[in-house]
Chain A
Amino acid sequence: MSTAAETSTTTPTTRAMPLAKAINAALREELNADERTLLIGEDIGALGGVFRVTDGLQADFGPHRVIDSPLAESGIIGSSIGLAMRGYRPVAEIQFDGFVFPSFNQITSQLAKIHNRTDGAVSVPVTIRMPYGGRIGSIEHHSESPEALFAHTAGLRLITPSNPHDAYWMMRQAIVSEDPVIVLEPKRRYWLKGEVDTSTPAPDAFTAQVLREGTDATLATYGPLVSVALAAAEVAAGQGRSVEVIDVRSISPLDDETIARSAAKTQRLVVAHEAPTFGGFGAEIAARVSERAYHRLLAPVLRVGGFHMPYPPSSQEHRYLPDIDRMLEALDRSFAYPSPRA
């Protein structure tokens, strides 16, 4: 234990590292900070997880704190709840988004409700780490974006970082939260490198952030699509359009105020996510912004997302997922308002 502690304190405070390494560093920091913090999941020990996010942690903290679980997602979440009831702070890994559903009851009917149904007597500070999203060329059930299902469940918090610095700090904030927090990790960005400053906290994990200021339209997205949105804004700038980019970061709670303020300023909003637009979380953002900024908007809030189909075979995912062109197309549709007839 002390070896790990010394390692982390002698590390320079700012380093460039991939997003997966930033999460690894955050987990290491919290394992050091609190004896009650435990990791549990499939293959997280000797292997270090299928994406190596927990690489080396079992070697440093031991098999009792970095626990290889049976292959049973409901068991992972259900036992994490029991551990949390006893005062521990389990960080449970669900190996892939598409594998979360066997634990759906434990997450939505148990974990989410226990604090409420016990009138606040029992807290269950479980963190669930879940790689999500597509564009990794995998087979079915490995590329999904189930955030709307959990956003709809009161009692859960959902956050999703888009860059290594946020990933480090948001993960740490999730672990110390007294509430259950699902951290959706954008798996195609695990290898995205960025500066992580371990002495300067990122903004509160439960807030949205304006990443690029603009005046003509707002493009709001989260997780894996943030870098796509930034690239789209850059292209738009070349076409003479100033696009403001918001990283939503927190899905529950939703910082609707920051998004509505931006939309009121630019008067146009496009929301993008990988998940299907039908019944998707973008609809929630669109509705809230419409309510708050109706008189300021020059165009309806438009959405860019996946289609109402199961995630397609990844040989077709380039046609399914929003990309720069799909975002630009939506921005163009927004700029076409108000229509001449109006």
Chain B
Amino acid sequence: MGTMEDVVQLLAEDGTLRNHEVYSTYLEDLDDAALRDLYRHMALERRFDAEATSLQRQGQLALWAPALGQEAAQTGTIAALKPTDRVFPTYREHAMALYRGISPEELIGTFRAARHSGWDPEDYHFNTYSVVLAAQTLHAAGWAMGIAQDLRTGSLPPQKAEDELVLACFGDGASSQGDIHESMVFASSYQLPMLYFIQNNHWAISVPSSTQSRFPLANRASGYGFEGVRVDGNDVLASYAVARHSAQQIRSGEGPKLIESVTYRMGAHTTADDPTKYRTSEEIDAWTAKDPVARYKTWLQNEGKADEAYFDTVDQEATELAADLRHTVHTMEGIDIDRVFDTVYAEPHRQVETEKAWLKDYEAGFAEEEGQ
């Protein structure tokens, strides 16, 4: 899987900041408030994630896919993009979703099986989660083709073109899917403004990333004719800087880029999984030492960027977010099946209407019996 030597890292595991001739310059754009905010988003996601895991254990959620350990990869990357850049997520981009302002209620409905997806992509420039992985990277390619079409028709003024790139997310597991290949072919052939963002969290449920690739995933980009870079996904500053750099190249018309974010899924694949069956405690300990949130907090403290009062405030906000999530889940009702009938098609469909009417009559029959 390659060595860590080719992985861009700015903040070392011991909390010291290194200089990098290309990437360090992007950090200059982050003032202390912005630096603190990166921590805040990571901490909020971590608390949200823990609460969701608990709620699943309590039977309140059908499933949860923890992003524990991937907070820096996601937060650094999304913070480097413009709010108008379009994100095509998998089902684990919780830090990105919360960063964009998607509410706990909108996010959690899927995992409570109350609805299939909870937000309108237009509201956040953030597509709904994709469960059949890799499919979304082709939608991302089509969306990016649409940007070129908008420029052709004039519905997107040329000066606005650089406000929209497309972030296509996937992981080491889905990197083996054929749709990833086809998406990259389209992106390269049509020189689409796309940033492929691979979170290599080392495990596709129980199968190690070495089964998906014997070679750094970033290297695949060169086969399609574009650049791939590996970044330490547990380093929020490097994640931010590398994404800024790639985004800048894409915005200047260089076509697609790829980032392989080397990180680790510290939790289970989902709450239905048991990681103790396939990985060792030594491995988990080794990655715990690289914890992205603790590392960054140490640096902020050592540099005097944030004081204890700030961390207390974030803790308080995280506690409130968890309480909000808990309350939301406990009071959430699923959508009615009539609504499911009504959205199968955008226009009337004879069979759907007939079946909807049948169910209504059938259930009304029970109501009459109960009334007798």
Contacts and interface: CB of A to CB of B under 8 A. Distances in A.
Interface of A: 35-36, 38, 64, 69-70, 72, 74-75, 77-88, 90, 102, 105-106, 109-110, 113, 115-123, 125, 154-155, 157, 177-179, 206, 252-257
Contacts of A254: 350-351
Contact of A78 (B135, B342, B346): B135
A226 B183 CA distance: 40
Nearest to B147: A86
Contacts of B146: 82-83, 85-88
Given A75-B186, A154-B352, A179-B346, A85 B132 contact: no
B349 to A, nearest CB: 5
A118 to B, nearest CB: 6
Interface stretch (B29-37, B137-145, B233-241): B137-145
Contacts of B137: 78
Contacts of A64: 148-149, 152
B345 A115 contact: yes
Given A35-B153, A83-B149, A109 B135 contact: yes
B345 A179 contact: yes
Contacts of A74: 138, 178-179, 182
Chain B interface: which size bin? 35 or more
A341 B68 CA distance: 73
Contacts of A106: 135, 138, 179
B306 to A, nearest CB: 39
10 contacts: A64-B149, A78-B179, A79-B186, A86-B149, A88-B146, A105-B179, A106-B179, A119-B335, A121-B119, A252-B351
Contacts of A157: 345, 349
B115 A79 contact: no
Contact of A86 (B138, B143, B182, B343): B143
B344 A155 contact: yes
A253 to B, nearest CB: 4
B274 interface: no
A70 B121 contact: no
Main secondary structure of the interface of B (DSSP, over half): helix
Contacts of A81: 138-139, 142
A83 B145 contact: yes
Contacts of B351: 252-254
Contacts of A69: 186
Given A119-B335, A121-B121, 16 more contacts: A35-B153, A38-B149, A64-B149, A69-B186, A72-B186, A75-B185, A79-B138, A79-B145, A81-B139, A83-B145, A86-B147, A90-B142, A102-B178, A106-B135, A117-B116, A206-B350
B291 to A, nearest CB: 35
B141 A117 contact: no
Contact of B142 (A78, A118, A121, A122): A78
B347 interface: yes
Nearest to B192: A79
B189 A82 contact: no
A22 B321 CA distance: 59
A115 B147 CA distance: 22
